[in-house]
Amino acid sequence: MGITEKPSLCGNPLRVYNVERTLCDIVKGKSAYDIQLVTPAMKAYAVSREKDVAKLLEYAERLRVKPRILRYMEVLL
């Protein structure tokens, strides 16, 4: 879920998580370090032209972080 392929600096394919999955993983964390990452990451996502809010909410539902994601997105969108 949320895995995509991107080229490395040398051109080799790398499997990485997409932005929506990464945001859900950050929100899932409970440490102070994770919380400091959430706000700037969500702000950057909110202004991104490539955002897919439906996908973000789908992943949030499946990863059981939808209430937390909604809390941030309601303020930013």
Query: What would the pLDDT profile of 25-46 be if each residue is shown by its tens digit?
Result: 988 877 766 777 888 999 999 9
Element (H or E) spanning 69, and its range? helix 66-76
Model pLDDT for residues 1-28, shown as the tens digit of each residue: 999 999 999 999 999 999 999 999 988 8
Contact by Cβ (8 Å): 23, 52: no
Question: Is residue 77's pLDDT more than 80?
Answer: no
Mean pLDDT of 51-68: 95
Question: Is residue 47's pLDDT more than 90?
Answer: yes
Which pTM does this prediction carry? 0.84
